[in-house]
């Protein structure tokens, strides 16, 4: 008597799962928080001496970062049927509602350079240069002015 062939299992028919695709993430801080990209500190001191990475990190009490995203209000989505106009000129003056990201409620301008204590904020798991920082932990706004602009 011949043995019957084993029944195929459902998982045998499924193709192998595809490797994960590259994803893009948008982090939207909530409440009085901002998303900051930590800026790399210079490798040399003002006197011109080379500073190893460990020395720079140990002696730094604060970090400089750029605000890349801020907490916002929820954007208002207008009902397209509620306010119909027949004049074409009115449509050109009105901003695109899809471009409205909401109003900045953090109190810190987008793309501002900020100074904060090095141990503050929550590191973003997939990018070590990003931190979510509460606005109350920002020590100062920093304007970077070149020597040419000073004179």
The answer, as to whether pTM is greater than 0.75, is: no
Answer yes or no: are the C-beta atoms of 141 and 113 closer than 8 Å.
yes
Cα separation of 132 and 70, whole Å? 10
DSSP for 51-111, written as a single string: --HHHHHHH-SEEEEEEEEE-BPPPP---TTTS----HHHHHHSPPGGG----B-SSS-TT
Taking only the tens of pLDDT, the chain with its 151 residues reads: 566 666 655 555 556 777 777 878 888 888 899 999 999 876 666 666 766 766 655 667 889 999 999 988 876 665 555 455 444 545 455 555 545 678 888 889 999 999 999 899 999 999 999 999 999 999 999 998 888 888 7
* Residue ranges covered by each domain of the chain: 27-77+91-143
User: In this structure, what token pair is assigned to residue 42?
Assistant: 């210079």
Cα separation of 86 and 98, whole Å? 21
Q: List, in sequence order, every residue forming a beta bridge with 70; answer none if it has no partner.
A: 34
Q: Domain spanning 27-77+91-143 has what CATH number? A: 2.30.33.40
């Amino acid at each position: 008597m011949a043995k019957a062939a084993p029944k195929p299992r459902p998982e045998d028919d499924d193709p192998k799962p595809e490797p994960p695709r590259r994803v893009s993430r948008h982090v939207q801080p909530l409440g009085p928080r901002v998303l900051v990209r930590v800026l790399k500190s210079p490798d040399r001191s003002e006197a011109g001496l080379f500073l190893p990475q460990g020395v720079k990190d140990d002696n730094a009490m604060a970090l400089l970062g750029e605000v890349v995203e801020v907490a916002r209000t929820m954007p208002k989505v207008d009902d397209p049927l509620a306010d119909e106009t027949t004049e074409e000129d009115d449509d050109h003056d009105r901003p695109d509602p899809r471009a409205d990201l909401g109003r900045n409620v953090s109190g810190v301008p987008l793309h501002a350079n900020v100074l904060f204590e090095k141990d503050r904020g929550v590191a973003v798991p997939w990018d070590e240069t990003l931190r979510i920082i509460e606005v109350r932990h920002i020590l100062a706004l920093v304007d970077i002015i070149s020597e040419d602009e000073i004179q």
